[in-house]
Structures are given as C-alpha cells and as structure tokens.
Structure 1
C-alpha cells in the first residue's frame, strides 16, 4: 500500500510579503523626498541648464523652491508611500499557489481555484512566465502567470509522480495561424481574428477569454512575438476547468 504523502505546496513565503510591503513603500518615500528637494537643487544650477527642453524656466523653479518646506516634503513622501503600497498590492494579482497532492493538482489564483484530478492530468511546464497544465487530451486546463521558479515547481510535481516537462511537449505541433486557412472552420477563424484584435489592443482579459473559447473547439493557441500559433487536440476536450 502506497503511504499517504502530504501535498507539496508552492507559494510565496512571509519573507516575500514582507519585502513587498517594505521595499516598495520605502522606494516611494525616497522618490517623494527627492522630488521635494528637487526645486531647491535646481536653483543652484547654472543658467544654461534651464535651456534644456524638459526643465521649467528659472522663474517657475524659483516659485517651486519657495513652496518647498516640511509640509510639501511630508505630502510628497506620503504620496510616495501610498504609491509604493499600490505597487505592492498590484503584485498580488499575479500570485498563485500550487498544491500538488496524490489525488489532484490545485492551482489557486486571485480569482479562482482550478483542480485537475490525477487521472485527467497530462503534463505541466513553464511557458515563459506562465504555468501551463495539460490534460490527457493535451488541452490546456490551466495557464496562469507566475514568478515561481521552475526548480521549485518541478520538485513539487515530481515528488508526487506527475509529469513535468522542460517546455511544451507538443511545441512541434503548432502552426502559425493564417487568416482564411482551410484547416479551420469559419467560427474558429472568427475567434482567432477577434483574438488578434485583442492582442493588438493589449486586452489580456479578452485574449484569455477567447483562448478558453477556442479550447472548447479543440484548438490550443500560443502567442509568439504577437503572432498566434495553433494546434488541434487529438480528441475534443471534455469537461473544463474544475
């Protein structure tokens, strides 16, 4: 009988969160402090400096210098701390937790939890900065941005006997999408056209939604330098994200 093994969990530790909420507010505070001192520094510069196109004239610098003081410094430092906090908060949008257990793999993102049962799992790999899980039909069931390293992820998957690949194991099956190719039906072509527009407009949310819709038609799409490449799964995907 195989002994029960505790799940291998890949997540950001307390040190990472401490770094976010310390480093970015401090950087913001430092920038605010520098900005508050800038008008005073500029008044000591030679006249020719004010001829530079990106600097205000000496009269405006003089007015700004007169406004400088502890109140302005406190306001700018406070704004810098708040800005740094917003940057730290935005980092949580790409934080994921990966739990690899004997029965299933669970990927927790800020907006959902996806579970892939062992008998449905095909392979896992990193595609740039995205974790990708494939099912046994080679369809993508998870694609999530992450900054977890390949070494940690590989160790977690292999510890429970799941397949980890160094790259997309079906990378050679992709073909560049050409509008009007007879290999794809009209609806899939329309989806790819719409997704091309989403990519051009840098609308990541719409592009991701269209990727999921294409998957329902048995089409896996990958982006390379702004161009869409596609492959067909051997069998139509059943089910979907858990």
Structure 2
C-alpha cells in the first residue's frame, strides 16, 4: 500500500489557471499606465514603458496581456516543478521535487520537519536528506506513522 502526499488537486488546477490570469491582468494594468509612468521624471528604466505606450492600439494592449500571460505560465511551471511530493510505503520513502525522484529504503532513526525542510536521519544518525518543500505536515506525519516510520514532531536534540 502506498500513501502519496501532494498539493491538493484544486490548488494545482488553480495555479495553472490563476497564475496566467493574474499575469494577464497585471500585463494589462502595466500597459494601461505605461504612458503615465514614462512621463514621470524620477522613474528609472523608462524605456520599456515608453516602448509599450508608443505601440498603436490594440497591439499595445495585446502585447501587455500576452507578456503577462507568458510570465504567469512561467510562474505556474516553476511552482509545479518545485513542489514536493512524498510517497510512503512500508519499505520506502520517495521524495519527488524539481523533476527528480529519490527513494530511501534505509533503517531510519527519525523523520521530522526542520522549518520547511523534511529531514530523514539514518539509524546511525547520518542525515540522509533534507528536502525543502511546502507540503501538508500533518498529512506527511500521518502517512509516515501509518507505515511505521519514526516520526518526530520536532527536530531531535543535538547529540
């Protein structure tokens, strides 16, 4: 039996829809104020704002929305690539992040979160992995305890 702890489906879907939509809205907004920003004497890097404000309509609006949409898609892709997925079986813990999966089958002394990092300590006290990720701590703890791993709510005291 395998337990998988991942972001909820609604959040993954919302990130792929919300980030591009927010990017498009920001792109439209920046395009709509670009002429005003370019007219301010104290603003550094006026060039891009002047370039956008000089574009004929509707191309300036389309460009602003398109660039914002592209940045939103890029942000959503980075978010998906960086997220941590934890798979737990009675004999293996598999961590997937940044496009790589690593499986750990060693005897463990402790598994815990240190800040936002999931830490696995081998039976001899060595740190096997320290993986950063925003994952549901309670779900990870439950999955590990259900499969018999030595979960600790806090990092152990330094020996």
TMscore range, shorter length: 0.7 to 0.9
Deviation at 1:112, TM superposition (A): 3.2
1:161-172 to 2 correspondence within 5 Å? 161-170=148-157, 172=158
Contact 2:27 2:67 in 1 (8 A): yes
The reply to whether residue 157 of structure 1 matches residue 144 of structure 2 is yes
Secondary structure at the counterpart of residue 166 of structure 1? coil
Contact 1:121 1:136 in 2 (8 A): yes
Larger radius of gyration: 1
The whole-number CA distance in structure 1 between the counterparts of 2:133 and 2:66 is: 31
Contact 1:39 1:68 in 2 (8 A): no
Contact 1:37 1:68 in 2 (8 A): no
The reply to whether residue 54 of structure 1 matches residue 49 of structure 2 is no
Q: Which has the higher contact order (CA 8 A, sep 6+)?
A: 2
Consecutive unaligned residues of structure 2, counting only runs of 5 or more, are none
Contact 2:88 2:143 in 1 (8 A): yes
Aligned match of 1:138: 125
Deviation at 1:55, TM superposition (A): 7.1
Consecutive unaligned residues of structure 1, counting only runs of 5 or more, are 1-5, 44-48, 174-242
The whole-number CA distance in structure 2 between the counterparts of 1:169 and 1:116 is: 20
Aligned match of 1:17: 12
Structure 1 residues 35 and 111: alpha-carbon distance in aligned structure 2, compared to 1, 3 A threshold: closer
Scaled by the length of structure 2, what TM-score is found?
A: 0.83
Contact 1:134 1:141 in 2 (8 A): yes
Scaled by the length of structure 1, what TM-score is found?
A: 0.57
Secondary structure at the counterpart of residue 103 of structure 1? coil
Aligned match of 2:90: 102
The whole-number CA distance in structure 2 between the counterparts of 1:124 and 1:56 is: 49
**1:120-157 CA-partner distances (Å, limit 9, x unpaired):** 12211111111111110111112111100211111111
The whole-number CA distance in structure 1 between the counterparts of 2:129 and 2:45 is: 51
Structure 1 residues 54 and 8: alpha-carbon distance in aligned structure 2, compared to 1, 3 A threshold: same
Count of residue pairs the alignment pairs up: 156
The whole-number CA distance in structure 1 between the counterparts of 2:142 and 2:102 is: 20
1:61-140 to 2 correspondence within 5 Å? 65=53, 67-117=55-105, 120-140=107-127
Contact 1:33 1:77 in 2 (8 A): yes
Secondary structure at the counterpart of residue 124 of structure 1? strand
